[in-house]
Amino acid sequence: MIGDEKTLIVVQALYRCLQVRDPVTAAHSLHMAELTYRLAEEFDQSNAGLYFAGALTHDIGKMGMTDRILKGSGKLTSNDRIHLLNHVSDGYRLLNSLEMPQIILDIVSSKIPS
């Protein structure tokens, strides 16, 4: 189970939005969630669902990216790279505003560059 009912509903809704926005990113997120869940089953079984949810939403900030950056195959400019990196903090802010559990926030923010 992914935390409480509110967390489950929010995570499912956000994932469905990501599937509509970019199926490739959604597929990547699902794959990462499955791998993360397997690891959590070994090391923190009681929170495995939250780890799954965190990995499933780790790229949720990419929903705000332009198609040129998100789906493009060309070389990224330095400005594009900044926008790409901002998806981490954008996703964190979104999930934090929705009062997601700390484990989910920690996973989403783990890629914030120092």
DSSP 8-class letter at 3: S
Per-residue pLDDT tens digits for 29-79 = 999 999 999 999 999 999 999 999 999 999 999 999 988 888 888 888 999
CB 61 within 8 Å of CB 88 = yes
**How many whole angstroms from its chain centre is CA 19?**
12
Per-residue pLDDT tens digits for 101-112 = 999 999 999 854
Closest to 11 (Cα-Cα) out of 78, 51, 45, 57: 57
DSSP 8-class letter at 62: G
Prediction pTM value: 0.89
Residue 111 has what pLDDT?
55
Burial class (CB in 10 A: 0-12, 13-18, 19+), 3: middle
Average pLDDT over residues 82-98: 92
DSSP 8-class letter at 77: P
CATH class of 5-109: mainly alpha
Residue 47 has what pLDDT?
94
Q: Structural domain boundaries of the chain?
A: 5-109
